[in-house]
Amino acid sequence: MKIHHWLAAACMVASLPTYATSVLKPIELKDQELAQLRGRYVMPDRIVYFGMTMTSTWQNAAGDVLGAQTTLHMQQNTIKPQFYVSLINQKGNGSTSTDGTGSITGGGGLTANQGVTQSTRTAGDGNSASNNVAINVQQNGLAPALTANQGQVLTSGATITEANRAGNLTISSSNGGVQLAIQAGNNQGDSMQRIAAGGVLQATNLIGTSNQVQNLTQLNIVLRNDLPSTGTLNCNLDQLKNLRSAGY
């Protein structure tokens, strides 16, 4: 999986001084080189915007779609990091799916790993699933404009639920992390996407037929091109302190 390679390369380039970024480009590192690297941080004086989006959806054979998108935006005027939730609930035109008859065992250790863990296990036919992590780094120095209605606020310790014929959805925030979990209806399977304790977990289990499942985590970072003022630097440091106190 190449996401580890690109993550390390993006972090290295983003942490270089301004005069060097114009001549150096991200490169894919070999495993031997990655084994010698330590650290995963970008200097706060270069960051003008950080955003994260988590999207999980489940579509059954009848065309019913259930899912949610959680977003986090941080920029210079952000006082406290806050997640917002937008629910996805669409009714299909097909008949109700028949109960799944597949069986999946084991895999308990998948939820105990650190870093990025992606798992897709299937015991049915005609299914499709994708677990993706995307990292976008821009250096135009412009933070995106935020819309007034960003969705429901997901506070620490809170839970948001939704349901339709595709199954039951639960979005929760606890222990400094966020989790999107879908239990599909008619014994079709389940999926989970979670960010907590510095790790990302994306897992899908399919035991029915003709389901389409997607888990996507996207990180968006905007870097400044000019050197920051002292006031801006202190502001960015305060943002990182807020993330630390929130448990991220």
pTM of the predicted model over 0.75: no
Assess contact for 124 and 206: CB atoms under 8 A: yes
- 199-206 vs 116-122, strand pairing mode: parallel
Sheet arrangement for strand 159-164 = 116-122, 199-206, 189-196, 177-184, 167-174, 159-164
Other beta carbons less than 10 A from residue 240's beta carbon: 15
pLDDT tens readout for residues 31-64: 777 666 655 555 667 788 888 999 999 999 999 9
Q: What is the pLDDT of residues 218-245, one digit of tens each?
A: 999 888 776 555 555 555 555 555 555 5
What are the tens digits of pLDDT across the range 93-149? Answer: 988 778 888 888 887 777 777 788 999 999 999 999 999 999 888 887 777 777 767
- Do the Cβ atoms of 80 and 112 come closer than 8 Å? no
Amino acid at 35: A
Break the chain into its structural domains and give their ranges: 43-89+115-144+168-246
Q: How much is the average pLDDT of 11-27? A: 46
Q: Are 125 and 100 in contact (CB under 8 A)?
A: no
Spell out the residues 6+ positions from residue 247 whose beta carbon is closer than 8 angstroms to its own.
Answer: 175, 176, 177
